[in-house]
Amino acid sequence: MTLREAEVSRSQRAKRSHAKQVKRSERAASFGPPLSMLLDTQVRRFREWCRLNQFSERTGRRILASGDGPAIVQLTDKIVGVTVAADRAWKASRVRGGK
């Protein structure tokens, strides 16, 4: 490998590394503002609700199907969501008692 080829290879690796870092920061930004800054009446779409609670969509569907999940809002024929207030109340009901 020539010196020039090594420089090009190193440059390409640096670009890929930078692109990965940008994707990570975009993913972190996709979570949106903290829950405490949202109004109780705001609705999070199903995927956002799952992301916010850090579980998969499959787990989210299981929680809602069990009947023990938060109340859902039917936004359209196919799109559902969860209000901030319902999510907060659901989480509060899941708190385990201490000693």
* Same domain flag for 86 and 41: yes
**Domains of the chain: total:** 2
| Residue 98 falls inside a structural domain | no
Confirm if 42 and 83 have CB atoms less than 8 A apart.
yes
| Residue 3 falls inside a structural domain | yes
Domain extent, residue 73, equals 35-93
| Residue 99 falls inside a structural domain | no
Dump pLDDT digits (tens) for 57-98: 999 999 999 999 999 999 999 999 999 999 999 999 999 886
| Residue 72 falls inside a structural domain | yes
Confirm if 31 and 52 have CB atoms less than 8 A apart.
yes
* Same domain flag for 13 and 40: no
| Residue 75 falls inside a structural domain | yes
Confirm if 32 and 50 have CB atoms less than 8 A apart.
no
Instruction: In whole angstroms, give the CA distance from residue 46 to residue 58.
Output: 11
Does the global pTM surpass 0.75?
A: no
